[in-house]
Structure 1
Amino acid sequence: MIPIEAFRTLELKLVVNGLPRAVNVDPCVTLLDLLREYLHLTGSKKGCDHGQCGACTVLLDGKRVNSCLILAVSREGSTVTTIEGLGSTSKMHPLQSAFIRYDALQCGYCTPGQICSAVGLLREGQAKSRDEIREGMSGNLCRCGAYIGIVDAIADVMASGSTLLEDQ
């Protein structure tokens, strides 16, 4: 008989921010907790832990998701991009630069999720107007009320037709 302790963790292989990663995780660990607690990528934030605020938004296989709602083990072989994988201080992603330029942040807690969600929104190609940007970003909440700057930043990058919207 195999002892129950043998089933406590599972090996999970992912590509995170362009790097292959193999991690042993408990089957009930969320993708958010895997990123923060196991891989020490703390840019993605734990807000409501119910998928309602968007602070935990990351790109999963190129699509925006609330990482607090996804069991990590269900994403074997997937590609995950967090805010840390979009750019760096020396080479920022166009949306990171635009958020600074348009003062689209105050406390900054929601900013990583806002930016990851905005990258996904622009990749989807669904938003063609400021109203569609607002609708497309409605799952990402900002307690500070920086919504005008957020929409301005996204609209600016959308208008520029940036080719840097793919994972860096």
Structure 2
Amino acid sequence: MTGRAAHFHINGEEYNIYIRNADTLLYVIRGKTGFTGAKPGCLNGDCGACTVIVNGWPVKSCLMLAVEAEGEEIITAEGLHGSEIQKAFVKYFAFQCGYCTPGYIMNCQTLITQYPEADRNKIKEWLDSNICRCTSYEEIEQALYSVLRQHR
């Protein structure tokens, strides 16, 4: 098997991981670091369950090759432990089965950081990039709005 050692910055920690050129970031994060917040869903970029933050922006890790993320700042759901958006998801019951929740939280966290003054259209656009099969959309939106209001 052809591969090489690669260096990653994940959740503020340094990792030297043996990867193949074909490995996705999702595979490396889940299989080689033990961080399981990013979920394998559709594996083609539609559902957003695998969303992580790379250099401050949401990325569907099932579509990104690990070699593309080498040396970049990566944050998984575990890296947001105790964040305002996680607390808001709990407060507003913005989950049912919970499978999509980490991806939504990562997307919402980035929206809060990059666009704290986001209008309704921007929020809708960002929330449309993920899918909740249990239909917790209203609660997810309420959680996001509650945090955005705190930042205004």
The 1:147–1:28 alpha-carbon spacing in structure 2 relative to 1, beyond 3 Å, is same
Pick one of 82, 85, 104 that aligns with 2:79.
85
Between stretches 109-118 and 127-136, larger displacement belongs to 127-136
CA contact (8 A) 1:127 1:136 kept: no
Pick one of 41, 45, 48 that aligns with 1:54.
48
How many pairs are equivalent? 152
Pick one of 129, 154, 162 that aligns with 2:119.
129
How many angstroms does 1:126 deviate by? 6.9
Q: What percent of counterpart residues are identical?
A: 38
Pick one of 11, 34, 43 that aligns with 1:17.
11
Partner of 1:29: 23
Structure 1: how far apart are the matches of 2:118 and 2:137? 17
Secondary structure of the equivalent of 1:156?
helix
> Runs of at least 4 residues of structure 1 off by over 6 A?
none
Structure 2 portions without partners, runs of 5+: none
The 1:66–1:131 alpha-carbon spacing in structure 2 relative to 1, beyond 3 Å, is same
Quote the RMSD (CA, aligned, Å). Answer: 1.4
**CA deviation digits over 1:37-61, x for unaligned, max 9?**
1111111100000001000000001
TM-score w.r.t. the length of structure 1 is 0.86
CA contact (8 A) 2:57 2:110 kept: yes
CA contact (8 A) 1:41 1:84 kept: yes
Partner of 1:104: 94
TM-score w.r.t. the length of structure 2 is 0.95
Structure 1 portions without partners, runs of 5+: 163-168
CA contact (8 A) 1:130 1:155 kept: no
Partner of 1:165: none
